[in-house]
Structure 1
Amino acid sequence: MPLLDELGRLSGVFLAVLLRFTFQGAHCELVVSPAGPTQVNAIVGSNLTLAVSFSGAPDPVVIWLMGDLPVVTWTIGSSVPPDIPENMRKVLKVEQNGSLTFVNVSLGFASNYTVKMTKSGVGNAVLSFTLKVFENIQNVTLSTQPDFAKEGTDLFILQYSMLQGVVEHQMWFFNDIPIKTNSHYLMEPRSLVILRPNRSDAGQYTVLLTNPFSSVTTHINVTVLYGPDEPVLEAHPAQPFYVAEDSLSLSCHAEGFPQPTVQWDFGGQMLSDTHKGVLNLTNVRTSQGGIYTCTVLNEKTKEKRQKSTNLNVYETPSGNPMCSVGSVSNVNLQYHCQWPGGTPQAMLSFPELSNTSSGTGNFSLTVPASDNLNRQTVTCLADHPVEQKNCSITASSPAQFLSAVRTTHDSEGKIVVTIYCVSDASPKAVVSWSRDSGAITSGTAYQISSDTTQLMMVDYNVSNFLLQNYTCTCRNPLGSQSREIQLQGPSVSNSILFPNQDGTVVTLTWEIPPTSIVTGFDIQMKGPDLLSTNHTGIQTRGSSDGYRTIQQKPGSARSTDIFGLEPKLTYQFRVIPRANMTEGVPSVVHIVGPGMENCSTECV
């Protein structure tokens, strides 16, 4: 019995101890807490610690994750070294309390970090940190695309590039005024887009790039020309293929900050002659055509991406595409576009006219004439692997016009009258002629020019001028305009007399109606004869009571100078228009002399 009693006493003690530990385990909880900030900013090359503290269990297992990737595993207090990837051992260290220390931190360690602590029988605890690593921003440059803004284009881009740095914030200013995104400005990750630029956009643009450790301000002056994209891989100049001996550059960039580093590969060979992702190719050969692969490394995220582009070296068409519009039977419009040459030939189309019709090299599209096409600008898109160009043409009905009449002589001295009718129209208007109600055709009496704009009448009878009513009609598929021309006999519409300062010379000028038939002019004077020199060398002057012709001028003349006047005497001048032997109505009489001061017949 004493033995049984002793055993019972020991069992009770063991049971008490067991219950005690069971009770304590049921109420213990592993807790991990931050011993510093959970949002940490650091400069490249600095040392920092993501500090934690824990309670509730001794020597737990601590696991640090960079994103979803375990980077440190260790049992606190263990003599076994922490399990850290070999490529991170120079940077990552775990402290005795489970904190994670970074030595000479680099951009690649910027990430979200999670610490997990576990203890068998106690459970686990989790705590998250965010580490942002920055570089000082250096060598920021601003550029534009294209070089100059053109008013009326869709957009104009200001973009920056930099040698190094991580940008957290960017701000844009125009003439020192902050720019906000609106219907005119669009701010993208590393550029400012001006939508539909106009002349008021000219001025100084500034970009301010900042992070917690540095800031850089850069300016650029933008010039806007009045009147008038962004792939990951870009070619400068941007062309789908190039002509042999051309020079170009390939640039590779990716969205994100800072500007990613770039390595180019061609035909399995790394190309070392690159700078800031730009590969310069000078005097390219056809053998340089092929697949170029760009490997982009973002120094902030340490992620790599690859992208390829196919560079073709071919022949290119010369010059620019040319547009024209013609008439088919003066009923339909034929739009024509040509950009010949090149390999292959350019693909040409008129999208406003047809979504399905196109051609190469030389392309024509015939459509019915309609009011909708009158004064409507139609654009030809010339799509060639080297580049895309366009040209535009506007078809228009004939505009109102003025006719012109010219009078000349043929080799036999006969009067030749030519009427000109030209209307601004596209396609060019065809001119038809009629007299009274009858159509005029080329023959003996009438000759119509090959372009139909001139009607020529040979051996014109001026005596019948009152009966000469002609009509010219300019017509193209979009409409017509007519003008009636009533030819007039020789006449002067206006004349003016200008004496010189001392009264010895006068200048007589005159005009004629636009439809007047005139082959020449008689300049007549009444009064003392002009000063002349006789056979003895003595200057003499006679007199006459009637008008006499002192000069004869051709039909093209509109002024003459008359010399040898005596300032103290009175003279009368007039102009007689002539059509060969037919005289027209004289001009008004101009009187000059003492007290008259260049009077016309109204003075007397």
Structure 2
Amino acid sequence: MCVGDGILPPGPLSGAVGGKVKFNTTLSPPTKPFLSVSWTFKGVNIITSTSVNVTSPGHTNRITLDRATGALELRSLVLGDSGEYSVSIIQDGGQQTQGNTTLNVYEDISGASITGSDDVLIEGQSSTNLTCDATGSISTREWMKDGQPLQPSDRVTFFENNRMVSISPVNISDNGQYLCQLSNPFSFAEASYGLAVNYGPGAVTILGPATATVDTLVVLYCSARTFSPAAFTWFFNGLQKDVDEAGYVIEKASYSHSGNYTCRAFNDVIDKHATASYSMQIKGRLAQRDTGSQDRGQQGHQMTPTPTTSRAPGQRAPDAPDTPTTSDAPGQSK
């Protein structure tokens, strides 16, 4: 950083393409005008002012000199205006003062993008590079992942002033949204990229009852930890069943459904599978212990029992009234 020798404030100055900038001096207007004021850019004179102003062709209609303080305004900035500027002022008494500073001109950032590999990334096996590019003047590049700054590690390395980030090998934790933010003093842009790392299947589990009752509905459910959707295959006692979903449904359980169930989860993207097994026992219903439940369930059909008494043959029932009897001859009507 160049510092003016008591004439120009500390630099550098910044300007945007198409904009303007003013090089102010620290001098106050003198009682008598300066004898001369001269500005140079990269050692080449751009304006000298004595009794008249002499301006270089490349700066005609682009600069204005404040004769009272020696300040210079530069307009319609282009990238080529970046560089070192010097001023030399000769005061009325012949004293000469000088100063210099630097101007940086920035172009707006546009067209930001992140490019990555088109290959299928597999956990623990693949590597990838993400590259952030844009047009314009880029002062800084910063990387974010899922809203947090992306930090370097033994697997994450930055190159070319953060233009590229390398991840080797990729891990499950690398899945997510990446953001590249680019900036300069006058412009800002960003680009995003979704990174997908394939993994699994792993941690295959079967959920369901260990025992079930005959004639009831039974559902077994298979789950697997995987990035790509898994394809499921079911086996019962070693024989493949015609079920290709996560759920295995038995509409009406019977004793023959007792046995060992196996679920195989398959990731066709990386050609990998994993299995889990589960044992289930089908049992009969418990016998009813409430004998009165049958009578309570027969409402409207309740019957009153008739008492009976045991007696010897020919013996009259006790307390029975004497009733006369009449014997009818065969064929005789009453």
What is the TM-score when the length of structure 1 is the normalising length? Answer: 0.31
Following TM superposition, by how much is the alpha carbon of 1:69 offset from its aligned partner in structure 2, in angstroms? 0.7
Question: Are the counterparts in 2 of residues 205 and 221 from structure 1 also a CA contact under 8 Å?
Answer: yes
Selected match of 1:177 from 242, 246, 262: 242
Question: Are the counterparts in 1 of residues 255 and 282 from structure 2 also a CA contact under 8 Å?
Answer: no
**Residue number in structure 2 paired with 1:131:** 195
Following TM superposition, by how much is the alpha carbon of 1:61 offset from its aligned partner in structure 2, in angstroms? 1.0
Question: Is the counterpart of residue 115 in structure 1 residue 177 in structure 2?
Answer: no
The whole-number CA distance in structure 2 between the counterparts of 1:39 and 1:127 is 21
**Residue number in structure 2 paired with 1:408:** none
The whole-number CA distance in structure 2 between the counterparts of 1:207 and 1:47 is 29
The whole-number CA distance in structure 2 between the counterparts of 1:127 and 1:197 is 56
Change (3 A) 1:45 1:157: same
**Residue number in structure 2 paired with 1:65:** 144
| Correspondence list, 1:286-301, <5 A | none
Following TM superposition, by how much is the alpha carbon of 1:67 offset from its aligned partner in structure 2, in angstroms? 0.5
**Residue number in structure 2 paired with 1:194:** 249
The whole-number CA distance in structure 1 between the counterparts of 2:167 and 2:197 is 11
The whole-number CA distance in structure 2 between the counterparts of 1:42 and 1:15 is 61
| Secondary structure of residue in 1 paired with 2:195 | strand
| Correspondence list, 1:142-541, <5 A | 143=206, 145-159=208-222, 166-173=226-233, 175-179=240-244, 187=246, 192=247, 194=249, 196-198=251-253, 202=257, 206-210=263-267, 212-216=269-273, 218=275, 225=282, 324=290, 395-397=296-298, 431-433=305-307, 455-461=308-314
Change (3 A) 1:38 1:119: farther
Question: Are the counterparts in 2 of residues 166 and 211 from structure 1 also a CA contact under 8 Å?
Answer: no
User: 1:146 is matched by which residue type in structure 2?
Assistant: P
**Residue number in structure 1 paired with 2:91:** none
User: 1:324 is matched by which residue type in structure 2?
Assistant: D
The whole-number CA distance in structure 2 between the counterparts of 1:115 and 1:197 is 57
Q: Percent identity, please.
A: 10
Question: Are the counterparts in 2 of residues 172 and 205 from structure 1 also a CA contact under 8 Å?
Answer: no
Query: Larger % of strand: which?
Result: 1
Question: Are the counterparts in 1 of residues 197 and 227 from structure 2 also a CA contact under 8 Å?
Answer: no
Following TM superposition, by how much is the alpha carbon of 1:50 offset from its aligned partner in structure 2, in angstroms? 1.5
Alpha-carbon RMSD across the aligned residues, in angstroms, is 4.8
Following TM superposition, by how much is the alpha carbon of 1:150 offset from its aligned partner in structure 2, in angstroms? 3.9
The whole-number CA distance in structure 2 between the counterparts of 1:173 and 1:324 is 45
Question: Are the counterparts in 2 of residues 176 and 206 from structure 1 also a CA contact under 8 Å?
Answer: no
Change (3 A) 1:130 1:159: same
| Correspondence list, 1:569-580, <5 A | none
Following TM superposition, by how much is the alpha carbon of 1:227 offset from its aligned partner in structure 2, in angstroms? 7.0
Question: Are the counterparts in 2 of residues 38 and 128 from structure 1 also a CA contact under 8 Å?
Answer: no
Following TM superposition, by how much is the alpha carbon of 1:178 offset from its aligned partner in structure 2, in angstroms? 4.8
The whole-number CA distance in structure 2 between the counterparts of 1:216 and 1:21 is 63
**Residue number in structure 2 paired with 1:54:** 134
Ranges of 4+ aligned residues in structure 1 off by more than 6 Å: 23-27, 221-224
Change (3 A) 1:200 1:130: farther
Question: Are the counterparts in 1 of residues 106 and 136 from structure 2 also a CA contact under 8 Å?
Answer: no
Question: Are the counterparts in 1 of residues 123 and 198 from structure 2 also a CA contact under 8 Å?
Answer: yes
Question: Are the counterparts in 2 of residues 41 and 133 from structure 1 also a CA contact under 8 Å?
Answer: yes
The whole-number CA distance in structure 1 between the counterparts of 2:133 and 2:122 is 21
Aligned residues: 230
Describe the superposition over 1:182-211 as per-residue Cα deviations: whole angstroms up to 9, x where unpaired.
xxxxx4xxxx25274445995976433316
The whole-number CA distance in structure 2 between the counterparts of 1:43 and 1:171 is 19
What is the TM-score when the length of structure 2 is the normalising length? Answer: 0.51
**Residue number in structure 2 paired with 1:100:** 165
Following TM superposition, by how much is the alpha carbon of 1:43 offset from its aligned partner in structure 2, in angstroms? 1.9
Which one scores higher on RCO, CA 8 angstroms, separation ≥ 6?
A: 2
Q: Structure 1: where are the runs of 5+ without partners?
A: 72-83, 181-186, 229-319, 327-373, 376-393, 401-424, 434-454, 469-604
The whole-number CA distance in structure 1 between the counterparts of 2:149 and 2:171 is 18
| Secondary structure of residue in 1 paired with 2:144 | strand
Question: Is the counterpart of residue 7 in structure 1 residue 53 in structure 2?
Answer: yes
Following TM superposition, by how much is the alpha carbon of 1:102 offset from its aligned partner in structure 2, in angstroms? 1.2
The whole-number CA distance in structure 2 between the counterparts of 1:70 and 1:15 is 46
| Secondary structure of residue in 2 paired with 1:108 | helix
**Residue number in structure 2 paired with 1:342:** none
Question: Are the counterparts in 2 of residues 156 and 193 from structure 1 also a CA contact under 8 Å?
Answer: yes
| Secondary structure of residue in 2 paired with 1:177 | coil
Q: Structure 2: where are the runs of 5+ without partners?
A: 1-34, 36-47, 64-73, 81-104, 235-239, 321-334
- Identify which range, 210-219 or 5-14, moves more after superposition: 5-14
**Residue number in structure 1 paired with 2:20:** none
